Amino acid sequence: MALEPHLTSMADDGKLHIVMVPWLVFGYMIPYLELTKLVAQKGHKVSFVSTAKNIDRLPKLPPSLSSLLNFVKLPLPLTENLPENADANSDLPYDKVQYLKITFDSMQESMAHFLEASDPDWLLYDFAPYWLGPIAAKLNISSAFFTIMIAACMGFLGPSSAVVHENDDRNKAGDYTVPPKWVSFPSTVAFRLYEVLRMTDSFMGNDSGVSNLHHLAASAKGCDVLAVRSCSEFEPEWLQVLEEIHEKPIFPVGQLPTTAYDEGDDDNNKDARREMKEWLDKQDKGSMVYVAFGSDAKPTQHELTEIALGLELSQLPFFWVLRKRRGLVDTELIELLDGFEERTKGVGVICTSWVPQLKILSHDLVGGFLTHSGWSSVVEAIQFERDLILLTCLADHGLNARLLEEKKIAYSIPRDERDRSFTRDSVAESLRLVIVDEERDVYRDRVKEMKGLFGSRDKQERFAVAEEMSSSSEVSEESSEVVLLVIGGGARRRRMRRV
């Protein structure tokens, strides 16, 4: 097995060595990469662990950080039912993702071997490798479960002990459509029935033998501390819930807004960017709908048709990043209605390849963003003051949407509570309500209020991740979100502390 060069502990020179292990999803890897950058900017060494294919398709990082970053390429074993070269969720149809989790579980030995050889000070791991916490403890390595979910999502899912020991009294779909008993304040954060029914495997399990809910609970149970993609100004009550139900240190690491990356200089990219800019520059300021559902979500054929006709009915210009399939093994291609592109020529653009989302959202003509409500997309929209229209798909999307709705930051397209269907009329009406009609000011004002919290690079810099301080240092009274990995009196086991 080929591993990257051996790395020793950074304790002798006053710097840390931190290992990051994200789940094999682009929307998970990018927040981990943003946190990696913040750690490296403090002068600490970071080993970012994933498969070769995933690391090779990550955006390029600043050359100034190259000496501090070690991208560790561990081979993904060949296993039954997992297609070849399927290294990420986006390479697979939804029903095949369970086999990627099974394969990832088979990497326990290679992960343990790397951790033992590299001897890091801290391990930050995602929900899928729930087995890493116990491995780190056995090797005397401090560990943090860094979840890219917001505090409201983790708080709603509940105490890890209840799930791990199977004594959670939520045993039917309807139980997840109301706030749980451990939430003592008024809240609308809960799944819709259609969201629960769409992903029963996440609660009950599948061929992998371990449900997503169990993955999350076991990850939280096995770590020393829980790091959350959140901040106290945004959801203080949910951070308090996490402290109460997990009974261990909880550290919000900020919203981790996506930063601009080098897109490469190939001629195809240049031509595409030029054509896109020419079209964008012809539109009226604040009038366009940007439509994208992330790297993993894919609407059904019926949903695709209703979205398309809804966009047409709205009479708003649009830029739609359309994903017709999830990986090469996906045989259920979705297609636009015949004549749609011809009818909307000059009004809308359909793009079926990768686009620089940050550059599009930063353009003044974008008035609203129709999204699946994945949190990275939400943060990117708010940092550019773009109004949010939501159409949830899977995973934590529904809980994200409820919190955004509750705070009047976004509007969800109305759907049937049981079969999740929606109509072209509801799409058109929702888009116009948020982007054109008088009601838009409610959402626009709230997004504007949130911009500084979600998009400020200066504010994110305050999350001084992996900053060293001695055990005798005074604790300052700065914001409660600042996270320190503290070296306590030269002890091999590190402590994480908030100041």
Q: pLDDT tens-digit profile of 138-177?
A: 999 999 999 999 999 999 988 877 655 566 777 788 888 8
* Calpha distance 348→343 (Å, rounded): 9
Fold agreement (11-259+459-498, 267-455)? yes
Tokens of 223: 């770590």
Rounded average pLDDT over 403-423: 91
What is the CATH architecture assignment of 267-455?
Answer: 3-Layer(aba) Sandwich (3.40)
pLDDT tens sequence across 96-106:
888 888 888 88
What confidence tier does 493 reach under pLDDT thresholds 50, 70, 90?
very low
- Between the CA of residue 172 and those of 30, 181, 183, 198, what are the distances in Å? 34, 15, 19, 13
How confident is residue 302, by pLDDT bands cut at 50, 70 and 90? very high
For residue 331, the tally of other CB atoms under 10 A from its CB is: 7
Coil/strand/helix, residue 170: coil
What pTM was estimated for this model as a whole? 0.85
The yes-or-no verdict on residue 73 having pLDDT over 90 is yes
Give the sheet arrangement for strand 410-412, strand by strand. 348-351, 318-321, 288-291, 366-371, 387-390, 410-412
Q: Is the pLDDT of residue 490 over 70?
A: no
Which of 299 and 47 is assigned the larger pLDDT? Answer: 47
d(CA 9, CA 306): 55
7 has pLDDT over 70: no
pLDDT for 308 equals 93
Q: Which residues contact 3 (CB under 8 A, 6 or more apart)?
A: 72, 74, 113, 114, 117
Q: Per-residue pLDDT averaged across 390-412, rounded? A: 92
Nearest to 120 by CA among 251, 7, 254, 213: 7
Neighbours of 448 (CB within 10 A): 12
Note the pLDDT tens digit of each residue in 54-70.
999 888 888 888 889 99
Locate the domains of the chain by residue range: 11-259+459-498, 267-455
* C-alpha span between 241 and 403 (Å, rounded): 15
The whole-number average pLDDT for the span 240-262 is 87
How far does Cα 307 stand from its chain's mean position?
24
Model pLDDT for residues 272-296, shown as the tens digit of each residue? 567 667 777 777 777 789 999 987 7
DSSP 65-103: GGGGEEEEEPPPPP-TTPPTT--SGGGS-GGGHHHHHHH
Find out whether 427 and 413 touch, Cβ atoms under 8 Å.
Answer: yes
Contacts of 142 (CB under 8 A, 6+ apart): 121, 122, 123, 136, 224, 485, 493, 494, 495, 496
Q: What is the pLDDT of residue 467?
A: 39
Six token digits for residue 492:
């091999």
Residue pair 344/319 in contact by the 8 Å Cβ criterion: no
* pLDDT (mean) for 385-414: 92
pLDDT number for residue 299: 85
Do 100 and 28 meet the contact criterion of CB atoms below 8 Å apart?
no
- Retrieve residue 282's tokens: 């012809």
Q: Which two tokens stand for residue 416?
A: 């049937």
Residue for token digits 């290294």? 87
Give the pLDDT score at 289.
93
Residue matched to tokens 């749980």: 180
pLDDT tens for 183-225 read 999 999 999 988 888 776 666 665 656 777 888 888 999 999 9
What percent of the chain stands above pLDDT 70?
A: 81
- Which CATH code is given to the segment(s) 11-259+459-498? 3.40.50.2000
First-last CA distance in the chain: 41
- Higher-scoring residue by pLDDT: 461, 76: 76
pLDDT at residue 459, rounded to an integer: 59
Are 147 and 213 in contact, with CB atoms under 8 Å apart? no
Distance of CA 43 to the CA centre of its chain: 25
Q: Report pLDDT digits (tens) over 329-371.
A: 777 788 888 889 889 888 888 888 878 888 888 888 888 999 9
**Both tokens of residue 219?**
């990850």
Cα 72 → chain centroid: 21
Spatial distance between the Cα atoms of 477 and 231, rounded to a whole number of angstroms: 16
> Which pLDDT does position 212 carry in this prediction?
77
